[in-house]
Structure 1
């Protein structure tokens, strides 16, 4: 039985239309993921081409992340009111046109502004991706399709640096953005098959909640960025205090608003479901561990081991390969077995892999690094698909958009927390950071915190098993 075969009583779309909608969604997802993973290798060339400082070029990447983080919750709420198809098509159109503008940019300011637009369009697509998948496919296939979606994201992440390097060598940096134009046109043409949500909400939009959400997430991203410069910039501590205070105040006000609003931006009553709330907490803790590792490993490879950026990327490749190997199987198993058990197995493997990375010797061979990263990827792939299924399947179909937005927010929040942790640790060791024992100690401390965060996620996940049995 294939993904596009129909059975009596199936929810979702009929097989032929299901296929078209799936192609549109996977194309849009691949575009948004590739855009981020390809760009980092191009920042030095972009800085030279636009006669801009290297620090300024970093905002070409940061502007996109900031725009996505600030608008995820907003678009998840709008999806409940505008409909999935309209929001998906609008976000994809903005992303595609902004990509064309990025390719034609003649200054750093112009490119950065268009990257903000790209992020807004990308957030509109990413915030409702899992919700659209749940609307397209019947519940009996939800785990399998979420596993394939994780496979797509991992493959795009793994291929991104290589594809970006090839485009840079052959055609130049504008083509990193221009490649999105034909892909976006194809996805837009097929996007007519994307369904609308079953029961669009008619309540008024929570404008105050939207402002508070954007302020909280934006300030939190800026505070995390300030953490990365605590040891090198005198103004970083001041920035951390300012942005951290804004993030805490706006976050508290946002929660206060959501508890009292008639039509809240993020319905907090979904967390009344113990299975949903525990899956969300598990997701945050696991992404903190992953976020720490994704930032710490490049420092380990390049600063401590002295590898080049290209070699570092190759050393990291086994991680997404592990996700590609595990996620589809985990998703398929999640349709038959309890997601909490599968997620706990994945987290145990991830914790073991992170611990093995923390115990890397001062001079490690490539194969020794590769198997540890592969184990981490297999563990994370085995965790993510079942856990996402647990979150989506424990809310009504009409609220899939809100659940999808919460899932994306948890991922972004966790990764930013991980970045902040690495920034604080590395800034503490900044004067001694290098290829010696002090640098290795700093990286090991980061990875030890990643292990602790993952073990915390494992404990929460095991608690779900006990709750289900009770």
Structure 2
């Protein structure tokens, strides 16, 4: 389990750890800010497009093998990023890093299911969810600590010894698959290409929706890319429906409790991303807190997750997952609505307890929701379920970022109205996720 924790922590952490260093990277490598952002995008796209193919491969050849090869790629690519002397080589190294991270994330939950007996799986999922949630928000803080004493290449260099250690520990301790692949399983390159094309076009199109130049609307090419992604996606998903064991698990989406859990996850992560980006603008621009004060106030959110996630893990099996997740999302929606309704000059205590309410709600939701996603499919489809877990998270985060870009283009963040609207929309997303979660209690 220590191998699982360390692997998923570095993979999730590297998604946000570079953000703080982007201005310095652009300056040192003589690149524009719009080009430097691809240091982040290359990593995210590589993960998103490869999660499901590598999860499917894990069902066929073993989750252990996919995890270890992914860790090896991640470690070697981290070394390449450390030694990069141009933006092009850094972006290429980050894409390879994303490939390795996809190997780690795609089978992460499936391995947790193998490691824990069914009676204690809830605790294992709680630990896993806690690490993912903490690593998701820890990137800027870890980057600030490293950059205060070292240059940006050290953000990647520290992955190398850690990756080597995790690789060799994993070779000794990670279990092999216990069941044979599902009948009709195969690895189709055509499906892999279609999967990559669909997610790439949609991700890049959604990302470009947030690009405004000269006060104009979104880049028209964004809509072209989105439309192309949807066309490819329709063809791809229709093809998947004809396969016995599809790469995109449409067979699992026919399980109502699984489909509802996926909808809950997308809604929850959309709400989380909307609020994580909007809150710094509110604290710094509207409430005039310092950077240190804003960082400390936001810390109440992940700290509440740390407290709530183990509680949720112990309640799994005693309280229905759907009900527990619904209560968590109700708390998060209430906290976000209260943050949106803050008075003009709130005290720090007024802000902190609202942040903590959001974090506690998310902590109560994530573990039971992930538990349902991982355990509702048959064991031989654990890899596909694990891949969908990560896909739902990244899809929700992308959707949240796109919604925030649209909100800030209509209502600027500097006068304060944009942040309030963003938090209100985040509250609505959390409430919708709670509705989907509660619907699971009606039966499978």
Q: TM-score, normalised on structure 2?
A: 0.94
Structure 2 residue 301 is matched with structure 1 residue 319: yes
Moved more, 111-120 or 31-40: 31-40
**1:434 CA drift (Å):** 4.9
- Note if 1:455 corresponds to 2:420: no
Cα offset, 1:41, TM superposition: 1.6
1:94 to 73, 86, 97: 73
**Deviations along 1:155-203, whole A, 9 cap, x unmatched?**
3345433332222121211111010011101110111221222234373
CA deviation profile, 1:40-86 (whole Å, cap 9, x unmatched):
22212222222322222221111111111111111111111121111
Contact 1:206 1:261 survives alignment (8 Å)? no
Offset from partner CA, 1:202-226 (integer Å, 9 cap, x none) = 7321322222221121122212212
The aligned length equals 441
Tell me which of 87, 92, 107 is aligned to 1:108: 87
**Aligned pair in 2 of structure 1 residues 231, 348: CA closer, same or farther (>3 Å)?**
farther
Which one is further off, 298-307 or 406-415?
A: 298-307
More displaced, 442-451 or 152-161?
A: 152-161
Give the distance between the partners of 2:83 and 2:292, measured in 1 at CA.
27
Which residue of the other structure, out of 167, 191, 211, is the alignment partner of 1:229? Answer: 211
Residue matched to 1:299: 281
Question: Residue 161 of structure 1 contacts residue 313 of structure 1 at CA under 8 Å; is this kept in 2?
Answer: no
Matched position secondary structure for 1:317:
helix
Q: Work out the CA distance in 1 between the residues paired with 2:319 and 2:188.
A: 38
> Within 2, Cα distance between the matches of 1:259 and 1:450?
33
Equivalent residue, structure 2, for 1:3: none
State the Cα deviation string for residues 407-439 of structure 1 (Å, max 9, x = none): 11111111111111111111123xxx2533xxx
> Cα offset for 1:24?
1.4
Q: 1:203 to 1:467 in 2, by over 3 A?
A: closer
What is aligned with 1:12? none
Per-residue deviation at 1:132? 0.5
Q: 1:381 aligns with which of 358, 363, 369?
A: 363
Structure-2 change in CA distance of 1:452 and 1:155 (3 Å): closer
Quote how far apart the aligned CAs of 1:342 are: 1.0
**Contact in 2 for aligned 1:72/1:405 (Cα 8 Å):** yes
Deviations 1:373-428 (A, max 9, x none): 11111000100001111121211111111111111111111111111111111112
1:370: Cα distance to partner? 2.0
Deviation at 1:349, TM superposition (A): 0.5
Q: Which stretches in structure 2 are left out of the alignment for 5+ residues?
A: none
Work out whether residues 413 and 419 of structure 2, in 8 Å CA contact, stay in contact via their aligned partners in 1. Answer: no
Is contact 2:258-2:373 (8 Å) kept? Answer: yes
Deviations 1:269-321 (A, max 9, x none): 22232222221221122222222212222332334345555544333221111
Aligned residue among 9, 13, 31 for 2:10: 31
Q: What does 1:385-396 align with in structure 2 at a 5 Å threshold?
A: 385-396=367-378
Aligned to 1:415: 397
Match of 1:287 among 269, 275, 297: 269
Shift of 1:154: 3.2
SS in 2 for 1:363: coil
1:72 aligns with 2:51: yes
**3-state SS of paired residue (1:229):** coil
Q: Which runs of 5+ in 1 are unaligned?
A: 1-21
Does residue 406 of structure 1 match 2:403?
no
Residue 197 in structure 1 maps to residue 177 in structure 2: yes
Give the TM-score normalised by the residue count of structure 1.
Answer: 0.89
Q: How far off its partner does 1:233 sit?
A: 6.5
